[in-house]
Amino acid sequence: MATAGGAARAIHYTIGASQPASHLFEVRCVVARPDAGGQRFALPAWIPGSYLIRDFARHVVTATAHCAGKAVAVEKIDKSTWQCAPCDGPLSFEYSVYAYALSVRGAYLDLRDGFFNGVNVFVAVAGQEHEPVGVTIEPPAGCGDWRVATAMTPAGASLWQFGDYAAADYDELIDHPVAMGRFDIVDFDVAGTAHHLVLSGRHRADTARLRRDVSAVCAQHAALFGELPDMGRYLFLTRVLGEGYGGLEHRSSSALMCQRDELPAGEEKVTKGYRRFLGLVSHEYFHLWHVKRIKPAAFTPYALHEERYTRQLWVFEGVTSYYDDLALVRSGVIETADYLALVGETLANVFSVPGHRVQSLADSSFDAWTKFYKPTPNTPNAVVSYYAKGALVALALDLLIRAQSAGRSSLDDVMRALWAQYGAHGVGVPEGGFEALCAEVTELDLAPFFAAAVHGTEPLDLTGPLRDVGIVLTERADAPGRVALGCKLKKHSATVGAVFRHSAAERAGLAPGDHLVALDGLKISGRNWSELLKPYRSGDTATLHVFRRDELLALDATFDDAPPRKWRLKIDAAAPPDCAARREAWLGTAVGGASAPINA
Ligand code: ZN
C-alpha cells in the first residue's frame, strides 16, 4: 500500500521486484495532490559526486499512471521527463527500471543481491521536491531472507530490515543508497556515533582488523574537523568483487567497490591492496565533511538535469585525495615510508604524462564533464587529473603554509575554517573562496602560489618544501640507460592505447589503435615489449611494423632516452633536528603534537 506503516505523506514510493532475475526494479510513486494541470515526473541526468551526464531515465523500461483505478495518459516530453494527463485525486505513477550496472553510481539486481541509488530509481515529483516522502522497500520475490542496508531514516522498518523508510525531501531521498542481500556487518563507534562496514559478496576478510583500522582512520578525520556532522549513524556499503574499484560519497553513508584480495586475511603487514582499500575508505569518509557539506556554491543546491560548472573540483577532490593518504599515516595505520611511497606514486601519475603541461587544475575542474570523465586516447596529452595533481598542490600548499608561518598554521586550520564558515551552515563555497580563506586563516600572501599551481601549467616544485621537512625527493628512470618510444600499450596486449606528445612514437607516425607486429623483424607480443627495447640506445633507429586497421605499415622510429618514471621520497637522516620536528608535526608522528594520532 502507498501509505504503508501509517506514514501518510504527500508522496510515497514503493520499490520491489516481482522477477529479480529480470534485473527489473518495479517502482510506484503515489502523489496525494498531483499538479492540477497534469503532474510531471523526472529522473536526474547525473549523480552528485560524479560529473558526467548519465541520463538515468534511459534505464526506465515501462511507465504507466492511474487515478482512482483508471488509467491516466503518460507522455514522455524530454529524455528524462514524463507528463501525466490532469486527474482528480491521488495519482499513482508506476514504472520499471532495468538494474544491471555493477557500479557505485548505478542500480543492480540479480538473484543474489541488489543495490540502488535514489537517482536511479526514484522520480522527482515536479513542484513538490521539497515535500517529505515515504518509501516502502519490499523484498524482491523469493528473497525473503535478504536484509537491507541503508542510512535512510526508518519509519517503521527494523534495523537491517525491509519495510518503511522516510526522507525530509527529494534531495535527502536520493542521498541514501540502498543495498540488499546477505551481508557481514562490522560495527564500531566514532565519536559516540554508530558506524557499520557492510560487506556484501564473497570474502574471508579479517573483520577484527578491519574494525581496528577503519575506525582509526575515521577517528582521525573526526579529530581533524573537531566534530562529526549531525547524523544518526554511518554506513560503508561495500561490495566485494574479484575485480573492481570505486567509491561514491553520501551524507551519512558511502558506496564502495573493492577487490577481495585487497581485504586483510590474517597477515599483520598492510599489503598494497589493503592500503588501497583503506585509502578508499578514508577518501569517502573525508567527503562526509568536504563535498557533502562543504561544497561549491555551484552545487548549492544541486541541479541534476544538466551540467553545473565550477573551477573548484580540485579543491574538493584534490584536497580530499591529499588527506585520504595522510590520514592513514596520521592514524598510525601505515608507516611514514609507506606514505612517502604513495606520494611518489602520485607524482609519477601526474608528471610522467604530458597533460600536466597543457591543462591547469582550474580548467580540468571546469571541463570535468567532457574531458576527465570522457577519456579518449588523447587524454594523457590534454588532461591533468584534478584528483592527483590536486592532491600534490594540497601537499605543496600545506608545506608552504607550515614553512611560511613557522609552524603556526597549516592546511588543517584552513579545513576547520571551511567547516566552520561554510559546511556547518550549508553555505556554498564561492569561486575563489578557498584561496581567499587560505589567505585569511594564515595571513600569508599565497596568490603567487595559487596563480602558478592552480591556474598555470608549470611543474610543481616539491623538492624545496619537502627538504624543509627533512625529506629528499629524487626523480630517476625506471631502468637507467633504457630507451623509450613514448607510447602506452593497452593492458596485456600489443595494441597502442596512447601516443605521448613530442615522443619518438609520435615522430615515427604511430597512432592510438595501431597493433604492433614487429620491431626490426622480431615479433612483438604485449609481454616482450620492454625486452625487445633493451638492446637499443638513445638515437638508434628501428623499423616498426604495425597494422593500422587492416593495412600493414612500416614506420621508422628513432628512440629517446626513457624519461624519469619514478619519484622517490626518503627521510634525510642527516637533516637538521628542526626539519624532523616539522615533519613530525605534519605527519602527526610527534607525541603530543598538534596533529597527534587519535586511535579509536
Ligand atoms: Zn572523491
Distances (CA, A) of 509 to 102, 502, 543, 545, 548: 38, 11, 12, 11, 11
CA 79 – ligand 1 centroid, Å: 28
CB atoms within 10 A of CB 303: 12
CA 368 – ligand 1 centroid, Å: 13
| Residue 8 pLDDT level (bands cut at 50, 70, 90) | low
CA 282 – ligand 1 centroid, Å: 10
CA 389 – ligand 1 centroid, Å: 14
Average pLDDT, integer, range 409-423: 98
All residues with CB under 5 Å from ion ligand 1: 317
Average pLDDT, integer, range 12-31: 98
Q: Does the pLDDT value for residue 387 go beyond 50?
A: yes
Q: Does the pLDDT value for residue 595 go beyond 70?
A: no
Residue 221, pLDDT score: 98
Least confident piece of the model among 232-246, 410-424, 426-440, 577-591? 577-591
Which residue's C-alpha cell is 580530499? 320
CA 248 – ligand 1 centroid, Å: 7
| Residue 480 pLDDT level (bands cut at 50, 70, 90) | confident
Least confident piece of the model among 198-212, 403-417, 475-489? 475-489
Average pLDDT, integer, range 332-351: 96
| Residue 478 pLDDT level (bands cut at 50, 70, 90) | confident
Q: How far apart are CA 79 and CA 388, in angstroms?
A: 34
CA 350 – ligand 1 centroid, Å: 17
CA 155 – ligand 1 centroid, Å: 31
Which residue's C-alpha cell is 520475490? 141
Average pLDDT, integer, range 223-252: 97
pLDDT in tens, 499-544: 999 999 999 999 999 999 999 999 998 789 989 999 999 999 999 9
| Residue 5 pLDDT level (bands cut at 50, 70, 90) | very low
Contact 149, 161 (CB under 8 A): no
CA 496 – ligand 1 centroid, Å: 30
CA 245 – ligand 1 centroid, Å: 13
Cα atoms in the Cβ-side hemisphere of radius 13 Å centred on 216:
21
Residue 563, pLDDT score: 83
With a CB cutoff of 8 Å and minimum separation 6, the contacts of 271 are 262, 264
Handedness of CA 92, 93, 94, 98 (dihedral sign): negative
CA 474 – ligand 1 centroid, Å: 29
Q: What share of the chain is helix, strand, coil (3-state, %, to 5)?
A: 30, 25, 45
Residue 472, pLDDT score: 97
Q: Does the pLDDT value for residue 3 go beyond 70?
A: no
CA 316 – ligand 1 centroid, Å: 7
| Residue 565 pLDDT level (bands cut at 50, 70, 90) | confident
CA 113 – ligand 1 centroid, Å: 26
CA 201 – ligand 1 centroid, Å: 23
| Residue 311 pLDDT level (bands cut at 50, 70, 90) | very high
Q: How far apart are CA 420 and CA 139, in angstroms?
A: 42
CA 346 – ligand 1 centroid, Å: 15
CA 569 – ligand 1 centroid, Å: 25
pLDDT in tens, 124-149: 999 999 999 999 999 999 998 999 99
Residue 590, pLDDT score: 59
Average pLDDT, integer, range 66-75: 98
Residue 298, pLDDT score: 97
- Give the relative orientation of helices 207-225 and 272-286 as an angle to the nearest 10 degrees: 40
Contact 140, 147 (CB under 8 A): no
Residue 592, pLDDT score: 38
CA 235 – ligand 1 centroid, Å: 16
With a CB cutoff of 8 Å and minimum separation 6, the contacts of 528 are none
The 3-state DSSP class for residue 229 equals: coil
CA 319 – ligand 1 centroid, Å: 9
CA 594 – ligand 1 centroid, Å: 26
Residue 553, pLDDT score: 98
More confident residue, 565 or 452: 452
Average pLDDT, integer, range 309-338: 98
Average pLDDT, integer, range 220-243: 97
Closest C-alpha to 59, from 106, 128, 118, 114 = 106
CA 489 – ligand 1 centroid, Å: 28
Give the best-scoring range by mean pLDDT among 5-14, 166-175, 481-490: 166-175
CA 290 – ligand 1 centroid, Å: 9
Average pLDDT, integer, range 339-351: 96
Residue 543, pLDDT score: 98
CA 317 – ligand 1 centroid, Å: 5
